[in-house]
Amino acid sequence: MLLILGTSEILLNFYETDEKQCPRCNQTGVTFRVVQTYFHVFGLPICPLQKYTGISCDQCNYTNDNVANEMSILLERESRVPLYFYSGVIIFSVIVIAVALILIL
Ligand SMILES: [Zn+2]
């Protein structure tokens, strides 16, 4: 069922590294993933909301969706939000400008 409006998530970027240890099993080899949440109407992205970094370990199946360290800050900075996440704002702006031009002319 398609929700009329709400929030959703999309994977922006992921990074597998052998340089970091799993916080649970201390094995090296974890995967960081950067996730963007966004507000949508009829599935059309209106505006991006929150970006967060999660970590997962393949050895012990550990996952954490709330990683806050220097690695997560760097990854979130490198993972840019695609322009289409602003589709609703862009469409609304074009409509407002078009109406304003029609009223002026
Ligand atoms: Zn682990």
Ramachandran region, residue 65 (left: φ > 0; alpha: ψ -120 to 50; beta: rest): alpha
CA of 63 to the centre of ligand 1 (A): 9
**Helix, strand or coil for residue 31?**
strand
Q: Hey, what are 40's tokens?
A: 């949508």
How do residues 55-92 score in pLDDT, each as one tens digit?
A: 999 999 999 998 888 888 989 999 999 998 998 889 99
Q: What is the pLDDT of residue 2?
A: 58
- Whether residue 3 is predicted with pLDDT greater than 70 in this model: the reply is no
CA of 40 to the centre of ligand 1 (A): 35
Asked if 30 and 57 touch (Cβ cutoff 8 Å), the reply is yes
Q: Is the pLDDT of residue 1 over 60?
A: no
The model carries a pTM of: 0.79
Domain total of the chain: 1
Q: Domain range spanning residue 37? A: 5-104
What is the Å distance from ligand 1's center to 75 Cα?
20
What is the spatial distance between Cα 37 and Cα 25, in angstroms, rounded to a whole number?
Answer: 29
As beta bridge partners, residue 48 has 38
Please state the rounded mean pLDDT for residues 12-34: 92
